[in-house]
Amino acid sequence: MLRPAEPRDAENVRRWRNHPEVRAQFLFRDVISPDGHRVWWERVAADPAARVLIYEHDGEGVGAVTFKDHDPLTRTAEWGFFLDLESLRPRGALFGAWIGLEQAAIRYALDDLGLAVLGARTLSGNKPVLALHRRNGFVEVPEKHYTTTIDGTPTRVLWLELHSRDS
């Protein structure tokens, strides 16, 4: 289940995002400071084209889903997500939460936001997420792929899209 993020969720979101395994899959890999997170949180809260949602698994908030650049006219947005690895992995709940989050986010994007196209930026080395996206109907858009430098290393970023049935 997804619900809108609330101020009480802010520190959990920062903690989840700062986990070393989560940071390793993002373009921006620095540890996020409390002040930096507060600035981001306030900016996103004021941005009508952005959403931060909390994914609940077994009644507990264990993940964050972000939508940005939501354009109601073109019915497009980009999304990203991450999970609370420290909580889920020891309980053996990581895989189920991962699949549940992706499916809930897709339903939200298509049904609640009414998107025609949901975009996802994914590092080429993130094979598990690429496989999950493909399994859920995302397709690569090669002309939108690019290379960027992360921690001094050229890194390929793939762009994937999920199209609604009515787009």
Query: In this structure, are residues 121 and 144 in contact, taking their beta carbons and an 8 Å threshold?
Result: no
Q: Is residue 21 part of a domain?
A: yes
pLDDT at residue 69 greater than cutoff 70: yes
pLDDT of residue 167: 59
Q: Is residue 80 part of a domain?
A: yes
Q: Is residue 65 part of a domain?
A: yes
Could you read off the pLDDT of 136-167 as tens digits, one per residue? 999 999 999 999 999 999 999 999 999 998 75
Token pair recorded at residue 142 = 């090669």
pTM for this entry: 0.93
CA pair distance 82, 52, nearest whole angstrom: 11
User: What CATH number is attached to the domain comprising 55?
Assistant: 3.40.630.30
**What DSSP state is assigned to residue 26?**
S
Could you read off the pLDDT of 15-45 as tens digits, one per residue? 999 999 999 898 888 999 999 999 999 999 9
Range 56-77 average pLDDT: 95
Q: Is residue 130 part of a domain?
A: no
Query: In this structure, are residues 64 and 5 in contact, taking their beta carbons and an 8 Å threshold?
Result: yes
Give, for 122, the enclosing helix (H) or strand (E).
strand 117-123
Q: What is the domain extent for residue 8?
A: 2-116
Token pair recorded at residue 126 = 């993130």
Q: Is residue 132 part of a domain?
A: no
Q: How large is the C-alpha radius of gyration of the chain?
A: 15
CA pair distance 38, 44, nearest whole angstrom: 10
Q: Is residue 134 part of a domain?
A: no
What is the average pLDDT value for the chain, to the nearest integer?
95
Please give the C-alpha separations between residue 76 and each of 88, 120, 145, 162, in angstroms, as whole numbers. Answer: 31, 11, 18, 10
Q: Is residue 124 part of a domain?
A: no
Range 36-64 average pLDDT: 95
Number of domains, the chain: 1
